[in-house]
């Protein structure tokens, strides 16, 4: 038989907590862009399809280099081969190859797309605007997230008739990274492709636990 000693320490009482989640958002202008473009070619044989695609993509890469893009800012992103069927019968192969081009000068995005298309690119899959160094924006978003949590906690404490005490625990959720717009562009244009970077949104969320009293 287990007996409770009169000298045993009492069980630790868990504090009363008020838990809130705050979100902060900062909209900033991007300072880089990643363009995904390439070529697709069709041929009866797989090897021929690949050769045609490779020839076009080599022309595109040469055009990008001639436009002043450093080679280290051009990266192969996809190579694929798919059979093509018509009326249930295989009629050939589609070979696709794409590269991703990272630009530091946003004003050059439209010009680079035009140069790639002129060199034979028939796939322009999108423009992804980015922040090269999001640390400052993330710090501002975190500050706003904490402020939002503080406001929520104060409102809830008043509504519940409790006294808001010190912070018991705080957790910052992992950064999702900048939320960036992605634009698809057509692979043919009679004039320069207009590119409007707009802004990118950096968001952070924090979970704050406050001690409360009656």
Transcribe 2-34 into DSSP letters. Answer: ----TTSPPPPPPPPEEEEEEEEEEEE---EEE
**What percentage of the chain carries pLDDT values higher than 90?**
65
Percent of the chain having pLDDT more than 70? 86
Note the pLDDT tens digit of each residue in 157-170: 999 999 999 999 99
> Which DSSP symbol is given to 45?
S
The string of pLDDT tens digits covering residues 82-93 is: 999 999 999 999
CA distances from 206 to 22, 133, 152 (A): 5, 21, 12
Using pLDDT thresholds of 50, 70 and 90, give the confidence band for residue 3. very low
Q: Grade residue 10 by pLDDT with cuts at 50, 70 and 90.
A: low
Q: Number of C-alpha atoms within 13 angstroms, CB side, residue 164? A: 19
Fold of 32-130: Alpha-Beta Plaits (3.30.70)
CA–CA distance, 130 with 171 (Å, rounded to integer): 26
d(CA 168, CA 160): 19
- Asked whether 130 and 180 are in contact (CB, 8 A), the reply is yes
Domain chopping of the chain, boundaries: 17-27+135-175+206-213, 32-130
- Answer with the residue of higher pLDDT: 36 or 180: 36
pLDDT at 15: 76
For 92-125, what is each residue's pLDDT tens digit?
Answer: 999 999 999 999 888 888 899 999 999 999 999 8
pTM above 0.85, yes or no: no
**Is the pLDDT confidence value at 178 over 70?**
no
Q: Is the pLDDT of residue 57 over 90?
A: yes
């Amino acid at each position: 038989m287990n007996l409770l000693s009169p000298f045993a320490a009492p069980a630790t009482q868990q504090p009363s907590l008020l838990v809130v989640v705050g979100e902060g958002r900062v909209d900033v202008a991007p300072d880089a862009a990643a363009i995904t473009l390439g070529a697709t070619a069709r041929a009866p044989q797989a090897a021929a399809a690949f050769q045609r695609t490779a020839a076009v993509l080599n022309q595109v890469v040469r055009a990008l280099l001639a436009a002043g893009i450093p080679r280290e800012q051009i990266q192969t992103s996809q190579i694929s081969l798919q059979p093509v069927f018509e009326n249930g019968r295989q009629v050939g192969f589609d070979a696709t190859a794409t590269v991703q081009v990272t630009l530091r000068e946003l004003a050059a995005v439209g010009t680079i797309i035009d140069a790639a298309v002129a060199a034979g690119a028939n796939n322009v899959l999108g423009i992804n605007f980015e922040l090269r160094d999001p640390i400052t924006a993330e710090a501002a978003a975190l500050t706003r997230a904490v402020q939002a949590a503080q406001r929520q906690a104060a409102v809830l404490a008043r509504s519940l008739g409790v006294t808001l005490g010190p912070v018991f625990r705080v957790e910052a959720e992992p950064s999702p990274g900048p939320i960036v717009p992605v634009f698809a562009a057509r692979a043919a244009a009679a004039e320069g492709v207009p590119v409007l970077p707009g802004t990118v949104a950096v968001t952070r969320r924090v979970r704050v636990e406050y001690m409360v009293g009656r």
